[in-house]
Each structure stands twice: as C-alpha cells, then as structure tokens.
Amino acid sequence: MKVFKFGGASVKDANGVKNIVTVLNEVGYQDLLIVVSAMGKMTNAFEKIADAYFLKKDELPVFIKEVRDYHYSIVNELFENKEHKVFSEIEYLFIGLTGFMIQNKATDYNFVYDQIVSIAELISTKIVSCYLNDSAIENTWIDVRECIKTNSNYRDAKVDWKLTEKSIVTKINPRILYITQGFIASNESGNTTTLGREGSDYSAGIFAYCLNADSLTIWKDVEGVLNADPRYFQETQLLEQISYTEAIELAFYGASVIHPKTLQPLQNKGIPLLVKSFLNPKKKGTHVSDGKKLVPETPCFIVKKNQLFLSISALDFSFVVEHNISEIFNLFHQYKMKVNLIQNSAISFSICLEDNFNLIKNLLAELSNKYKVVCFEKVSLFTVRHFQNKNIEELEKNNKVLLKQFTQETVQIVVQ
Ligand code: ASP
Ligand code: MG
C-alpha cells in the first residue's frame, strides 16, 4: 500500500480540489490511502472561533460566517447540483459545531479547541471525497478518529501506538481507496484530540507505519524539500535525497516542510518519504530514506521567527549550577515552553524559547523570584546545517547577534 498526504495549500480553493483528480489520474491511485488536511488557512480561522468562544462571544457569528462562506464558495464551485449530499454533510458538521458550543460546559481551553478546530479537517475531507467520487475516483470517507487513538493531552495528544495499530489494521481494507483526515484523533472516551499544528504529515506517517506502506508521499506547493525557506531566502536549491537522520535534524531545527514527528515511524520501518509538487506530479521531488545524507551537499538554512531569548543569572551572582538548571527546566516544562537553544557560562544561563501557549508572563514572574532575568522578545533563531563561513558572515552582517553556537555541522545564531 501507499499513503498520500495533501496539505492545506493543495486544497485552498476549488481548483486545488480539481487538481487532486489530475494528480491521481496522472500517478495512479491503486492500493492507496489519502490523508487530506484542512483547506487553506481554515485551521487558523477555526482557532479564531475557539478563541472567540472563550473571550468574545459576540464576535462568534462573524468568525463562523467566515468559515462557512469559505467552504460554501468552494463547494458551490465544485458541485453544480445543489441537491448533492455534500451540502447536507457539511451543514450537518456546522450544526454539530453550533450544538457543541451551546451544550458544552467544559472550561478547558485545549479540550474545547480540539472539538472546534477538528471540524475544518472533517469538512475538507468530505468535500474532497465527494468530488473524487463524482470524478470517477471511487473512494470511501473514513473518520480518522476511529483509527488514530491518543491520550487526553488535548492540542498535543500522544499516540497510543498499540491501540492505533490494532484499529487501523482492523478498519482499513487495503483494496479500498480511503480519504481521511490528518491532525485529529480521539481519546479513550471518544473525544476529539489533535496532534499539534501541522500534524497531518504525522497522521500520514502513522498510517504508513501501521499499514507497512511502501512509501508515503507528501504533496506540496513546492518542488520538494528545499535547502532554505523561499519566504525568507532568495536563492533556494532542491534537496534530491536526504537521509532520515538528516531530515530529522532539519525538522528538529525547524525546517517547516516536514513535521518533526513524521519521520520516526517511517525510519523505524524503512518506509521512504517522498516530497513532491502537486503542480508537477511527475517530477522527482525529494526522496527521504536510508542512504546518502544529503544530495546535493549544500548548506541548509532554517529560520525560526518569534522566539524569546532569556538570559538568567542568580540574584547574588553565584554560579548557575546543576540544581538551578534543573529548577529552571522544571519551570519551562510547567509553562510548556519549547526550548530551542541553551548555553551556560559560570554566572548566567541563556536560552532561546518558543512560547506556544502564551505563558511567558507567568514564567517570568516565577523565575524572577529567584533570578535576574533579561528577556528579549521577537528574536529570530537561524540555524545553518553544513555551514560555510561565508554563510555566517552574511547573517552577522545584516543582524544584531545575541548568541552564536557552533557544533561540528551546525551553527545557530540568535538575532534581534
Ligand atoms: N490543518 C492542520 C493545521 O493547519 C493540520 C495540518 O495542516 O497539518 O495545523
Ligand atoms: Mg494545514
């Protein structure tokens, strides 16, 4: 079997959905399972609904209208017959959303977020599934929440591999073409959970693993994995071959083309990952597998924006040693900070952090009871793998450097 994943950019409008038909007709769709994520930027739009539900209830209708209009404009373009069942299927999902918002008593933001945001993936897959069926690509829509099982850590749920493998093997008939959702899953009580933003690559990786797939193909609006993000760098190069380990390193440092968790299940079973362009399906794209580390051998640039840079020292200028460091790390864990870089000297400890849950104020309040803390906001973290000195000079020329750290193959620079 094979697994394909189409991301938000591939289904951002009616033409995108039509293009999936073109891709499938061009490359074939035998023995295939397809994961499709929410359309365009719809996950962000549903996040706004979740926020408004808690903070500004009066703005809810505006945000709901925004997602309704977006999806209905796509289905209206795709389906001429207004009696088509796709319309009632989508309406049913919107009724479910409203019903949930009226009935829900839970105050846990993360729980509510998952119940709301997941609707975007359900709608998107309904549309794609119906459209493919109408285009003679016979398929079955399946609710991924029956397949991928997780714990109850809403918004960042951990996969229960045993249960998941069992469900997938029982539910999936290899001879049927399935369309299913990425990013969402369910816990023991059947509540919806999510695997973390951009998690649908990971979902596809989970299916590939459990089905012992021959390969996983992620269809993108770029040619494959590039050595730098074209949004921030002018000259980019296509990476033709990357080893799993190198891809894991790149993803770890923040290369956004591959979700970091996706690679591990694939590597465990030696399942190749192909990253290809949905605009040029016949082009080779990038091949991630065992074997050559990086072809061509070229520096790879990764930038993480919107980072926090903290410099922490003891109030009495004593040394920052093991017990302080463990205390500081416990606080990072408690406030769900993602640590991207650390460096310590005798009296200070510097960290580059990501505050995905908006908890920096609480963290700083607690840290400053014991430490002197200097915090720089909105800094950027540049990582260059396989760097050449000229790459570093270039970065230093244009930015104010707060920290620079070298390891054999990698340089990381925090700039303001
Ligand atoms: N739709 C989800 C998101 O935008 C998952 C994904 O696209 O991978 O985060
Ligand atoms: Mg997406």
Residue pLDDT, tens place only, 95-106: 999 999 999 999
In this structure, which ligand is nearest to the CA of 121?
A: 1
221: CB partners within 8 A, 6+ apart: 9, 10, 277, 278, 279
The answer to whether residues 228 and 382 touch, using CB atoms and an 8 Å cutoff, is: no
- Alpha-carbon gap, residue 414 to 377, rounded angstroms: 11
In 3D, which of 48, 36, 100, 27 has the Cα closest to residue 74? 36
Here the tokens at position 416 are 């303001």
7 lines ligand 1 (CB under 6 A): yes
Region of poorest pLDDT, from 106-110, 202-206, 254-258, 322-326: 254-258
Q: Is the CB of 40 under 6 A from ligand 1?
A: no
Segment 226-244 shows an average pLDDT of 91
Confidence of residue 257 (pLDDT cuts 50, 70, 90): low
Q: Hey, whose CA ends up nearest to atom 5 of ligand 1?
A: 198
How many residues appear in the chain? 416
pLDDT > 80? residue 230: yes
- Going by C-alpha positions, the residue among 235, 278, 229 that lies closest to residue 258 is 229
Write the CB contacts of 327 (distance below 8 Å, at least 6 apart in sequence).
370
- The pTM is what? 0.86
305: part of which helix (H) or strand (E)?
strand 300-314
Contact 265, 276 (CB under 8 A): no
Question: What mean pLDDT comes out for the span 146-174?
Answer: 97
Locate 278 and state its tokens. 């949905």
Q: Is 37 in the pocket of ligand 1 (CB under 6 A)?
A: yes
Question: Which residues have C-beta within 8 Å of that of residue 115, sequence separation ≥ 6?
Answer: 100, 104, 191, 192
Calculate mean pLDDT across residues 313-324.
Answer: 83
Structure tokens at 225: 């994995």
User: In angstroms, what is the span from residue 21 Cα to ligand 1's centroid?
Assistant: 21
Q: How far is CA 342 from CA 156, 259, 325, 363, 367, in A?
A: 24, 22, 11, 17, 16
Residue 21 has pLDDT above 70, yes or no: yes
Residue 221 Cα to ligand 1 middle (Å)? 15
Q: How confident is the model at residue 253 (pLDDT cuts 50, 70, 90)?
A: confident
How many Cα atoms within 13 Å fall on the side-chain side of residue 346? 3
- Mean pLDDT across the chain, nearest whole number? 95
Q: Are 173 and 183 in contact (CB under 8 A)?
A: no
Q: Give residue 378's region: left, alpha or beta (phi > 0; psi -120 to 50).
A: left
pLDDT band of residue 204 (cuts 50, 70, 90) is very high
Task: Please tell me the residue having the least CA distance from ligand 1 atom 6.
Answer: 198
With respect to CATH, is domain 2-213 assigned 3.40.50.720?
A: no
For position 255, what pLDDT does the model report?
Answer: 80
For the chain, percent of residues with pLDDT exceeding 70 = 100
Pocket test for ligand 1, best of 41, 119, 181, 183 (most atoms within 8 A of CB): 183
Is the C-beta atom of 260 inside 6 A of ligand 1?
no
Domain ranges of the chain: 2-213, 300-415
Rounded distance between C-alpha atoms, residue 331 and residue 20, angstroms: 46
pLDDT for residue 311 is more than 80: yes
Can you tell me the distance from the alpha carbon of 257 to that of 275, in angstroms, rounded to the nearest whole number? 9
Residue 337's pLDDT is 95
Task: Look up the CATH architecture of domain 300-415.
Answer: 2-Layer Sandwich (3.30)
Is it the case that residue 319 has pLDDT exceeding 80? no
